[in-house]
Amino acid sequence: MELSHLPVMPKEVLDLLGVSRGGRFIDGTLGLGGHAELLLASSPEVQLLGIDRDGEAIRHARVRLERFGDRVRLVRGCYGDMAKFAAEQGWDHVDGILLDLGVCSGQIDEPGRGFSHRFDGPLDMRMDRRSPISAATLLNENSEEELGRILREYGEERHARRIARAAVERRQTKPWERTLEFAEMANRLGDRRRGGVPPATRCFQALRIAVNDELGQLQKALRIAVILLRQNGRVVVISFHSLEDRMVKHFFRAEAAACVCPPELPVCNCGKKVTLRVVTTKPVRPTDAEVAENRRAASARLRAAERP
């Protein structure tokens, strides 16, 4: 994995997490340790638990963060299980949680991982290579209906059914194995009119989300964040596509609501508690200067919420 990954919106992340005061933080998407390094360097009072499901990312981050000694602990696993990992450290509450979603540029640019529709490689896309289900498994074993659902829901591809049908037809003679074969078919049959984004981009995103259960992980992590954060502790989430950003926005809004009674009830009797305060009413976007330096930042949207 190449090591040039620049952390997205670094200043905004540090400010919103309030790391200069020190405390216990979880970086649920450690990656190459870019954000983690900034957090640890911003105060000698910061302790960090870094989680990543990718063994290679953990190896790189371990070297990068070595100088922080026992202020940093790294775990290979899913951020959806962060409560368990925190408990293993003896942490019952934390001051901040960071999720910088998706994959690192190093993972995308490595043809052998199968994340990119631009390079020939195996149809893999597993962030954790110990997981039994790859993109090829999905394409070769799922029903036409399920494939269509994945491409439509996670890729927002209008011609999802047509691609799913062709995928199932083709595997009768030759199982799916290579990225470029699937990319060619997606680009030939997909909706080419949508915003200049090649259909293969959307279909690869869909398969990646399904292979790694990305939305299930995010939902689980958000629920756990509410329990793990101490008073005034914050959760910061950086998303790169609208499905994730929508999930974060709706979750924060629902937790921040003081009442869920039907509007026709004259007096509130729902007993709903406010469990989060929204800190960013609108998503924070990177500056033009950052995007010029770091293309990956272009689609980033950051949202933060605080435990009251």
Ligand X SMILES: C[S@@+](CC[C@H](N)C(=O)[O-])C[C@H]1O[C@@H](n2cnc3c(N)ncnc32)[C@H](O)[C@@H]1O
Q: Which of 35, 159, 208, 249 binds ligand X (CB under 6 A)?
A: 35
**Which DSSP category does 263 fall into?**
T
Contact segment (CB under 6 A) with ligand X among 52-60, 144-152, 159-167, 225-233 equals 52-60
29 binds ligand X (CB under 6 A): yes
Least distance (Å) from ligand X to the CB of residue 264? 41
190 binds ligand X (CB under 6 A): no
157 binds ligand X (CB under 6 A): no
32 binds ligand X (CB under 6 A): yes
| CB-nearer residue toward ligand X: 106 or 155 | 106
Nearest-CA neighbor of 140 among 175, 109, 182?
175
Q: How far apart are CA 50 and CA 73, in angstroms?
A: 6
The answer to whether the beta carbons of residues 125 and 211 sit under 8 Å apart is yes
Contacts of 170 (CB under 8 A, 6+ apart): 176, 185
Q: How far apart are CA 219 and CA 237, in angstroms?
A: 12
78 binds ligand X (CB under 6 A): yes
Q: How far apart are CA 291 and CA 128, in angstroms?
A: 29
297 binds ligand X (CB under 6 A): no
| CB-nearer residue toward ligand X: 104 or 305 | 104
Region label for 9, one of left (φ > 0), alpha (ψ between -120 and 50) or beta (otherwise):
left
Q: How far apart are CA 88 and CA 227, in angstroms?
A: 16
201 binds ligand X (CB under 6 A): no
SS3 125: coil
Least distance (Å) from ligand X to the CB of residue 21? 21
Q: Which of 47, 134, 179, 217 binds ligand X (CB under 6 A)?
A: 217
Contact segment (CB under 6 A) with ligand X among 29-37, 142-150, 180-188, 264-272 equals 29-37
The sign of the torsion formed by the CA atoms of 55, 60, 61, 63 equals positive
Q: How far apart are CA 186 and CA 192, in angstroms?
A: 10
51 binds ligand X (CB under 6 A): yes
Residues 93-132 that bind ligand X (CB under 6 A): 100, 102-104, 127
Least distance (Å) from ligand X to the CB of residue 129? 11
5 binds ligand X (CB under 6 A): yes
Nearest-CA neighbor of 44 among 74, 60, 67, 73?
67
Least distance (Å) from ligand X to the CB of residue 165? 30
Contact segment (CB under 6 A) with ligand X among 42-50, 73-81, 157-165, 245-253 equals 73-81
Query: Which stretches of the chain bind ligand X, using CB under 6 A?
Result: 5, 7, 29, 31-35, 51-54, 57, 78-80, 100, 102-104, 127, 217
